[in-house]
Amino acid sequence: GELNGIHTQVAGMLCNGKPVYQTSAGDYILFQPSGSSQWELSDGEDAASCKARGWVHSAVNVCSASPEACDGRWREVYGTCTKSWWTGSVSCDGGWRDVTSLEVTPLVLPPSPPHYPPGTVNKVEHGDTFGDWGGSCTCPDGAVYSVGDGGSGCKSLQCFGGLSGKCGPNNSKGRHVRVTCALPEG
């Protein structure tokens, strides 16, 4: 598989208290294994268990602070590696593979849920003029209501400030119902 590429933080996943990153292709995972201060580039199974199998190393130093610190200078280690207590050098029987352009991008979080002033509620009204046919009305707070069509033959729904769903004749719950959704602040 291709080792070069953009890595994006995986939502809700941590190894060793550090974020886990995945390539845009979804095949390689960059993570810090449990009990390690180094980063590993591996497949998803290793990251899911946070177990070490090798590590990512830079030509300059081991990237212990963050993956961004060694952007563009990664080398991947496979096999068994040992560090000489005498010289401090690392030797690996699996060899090295260069990873020339690793780029880590931050996690893009979904927008914050809207804030509603205290006492703000969706207004549900009942009346004969709100129609027999109808469909669903989804308000910005996520609440879903069955509403009438206002006698329009399903040209519109009695849903104000929300998202109107499909309209049809089988709408016993929404018959003669109108909803005005509460609007969030801002």
- DSSP codes of every residue in 63-111: --S-GGGGTT-EEEE-S-EEE-TTT--EEESS-EEEE--EEEE---PPP
Looking at the domain assignment, is residue 145 inside a domain?
A: yes
96 with 130, same domain?
A: no
pLDDT by residue (tens digit) across 32-88? Answer: 777 776 667 665 555 567 776 655 544 444 454 555 544 444 444 445 555 666 766
Average pLDDT, the chain: 69
Looking at the domain assignment, is residue 112 inside a domain?
A: no
**Which residue range(s) make up the domain with 44?**
5-105
Domains in the chain: how many in total?
2
19 with 54, same domain?
A: yes
- Please report where in the chains the tokens 């709408």 appear, as a residue: 171
Residue 7 backbone phi and psi in degrees, to 5: -110, 135
Which of 71, 105, 139 represents a domain boundary (last residue)?
105
50 with 137, same domain?
A: no
